[in-house]
């Protein structure tokens, strides 16, 4: 456990992008909670998707491939981007409406628990003391956060 700030400039930029995404995810739940007020979430979802598209467009143009990817790859990206993201956004808005912004973001803490369990069971990855300690911290933090909400 700890913070490793070594790496190339590109690696550190990637870490920075992840941190901005995490901040955006946390702020998104609060924005959804405060701005919807029972209204249709489609406008908010469309706006968020458009903002993400505009933010990523320069990177896409700069990294444009020299030849077109296979059709099945394009179709996969389209399905993931359109269908899966749309469904996930709608479910997230419903979750914020039901559980509030804190409860909605706490669900993401289940991901490391599942990843750790699947890694150990399916991939036979070792369960280290650091990973178990991190798991305990995640579960304790989730418990504390939900206790304050009740």
Tens-digit pLDDT profile for residues 9-20: 888 888 888 888
Model confidence band, residue 73 (pLDDT cutoffs 50, 70, 90):
very high
| Averaged pLDDT for residues 117-127 | 91
Which pair of tokens denotes residue 4? Answer: 């490793």
Angle at 16 between CA 32 and CA 119, to 5 degrees: 85
126: left (phi over 0), alpha (psi -120 to 50) or beta: beta
Which pair of tokens denotes residue 88? Answer: 């996930």
Select from 81, 99, 1 the least CA-distant residue to 45. Answer: 81
Rounded alpha-carbon distances, angstroms, from residue 128 to 1, 5, 116, 125, 133: 11, 22, 10, 9, 8
pTM for this predicted structure? 0.59
The residues near 95 (Cβ < 8 Å, ≥ 6 apart) are: 103, 104, 107
């Amino acid at each position: 456990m700890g913070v490793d700030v070594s790496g190339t400039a590109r690696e550190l930029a990637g870490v920075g992008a992840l941190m901005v995404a995490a901040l955006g995810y946390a702020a998104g739940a609060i924005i959804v909670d405060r701005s919807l007020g029972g209204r249709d979430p489609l406008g908010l979802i469309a706006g968020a998707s458009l903002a993400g598209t505009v933010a990523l467009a320069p990177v896409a143009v700069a990294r444009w491939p020299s030849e077109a990817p296979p059709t099945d790859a394009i179709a996969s990206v389209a399905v993931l981007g359109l269908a899966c993201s749309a469904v996930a956004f709608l479910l997230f808005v419903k979750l914020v409406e039901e559980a509030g912004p804190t409860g909605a973001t706490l669900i993401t803490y289940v991901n490391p628990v599942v990843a750790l369990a699947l890694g150990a069971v399916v991939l036979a990855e070792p369960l280290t003391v650091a990973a178990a300690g991190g798991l305990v911290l995640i579960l304790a933090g989730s418990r504390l956060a939900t206790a304050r909400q009740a």
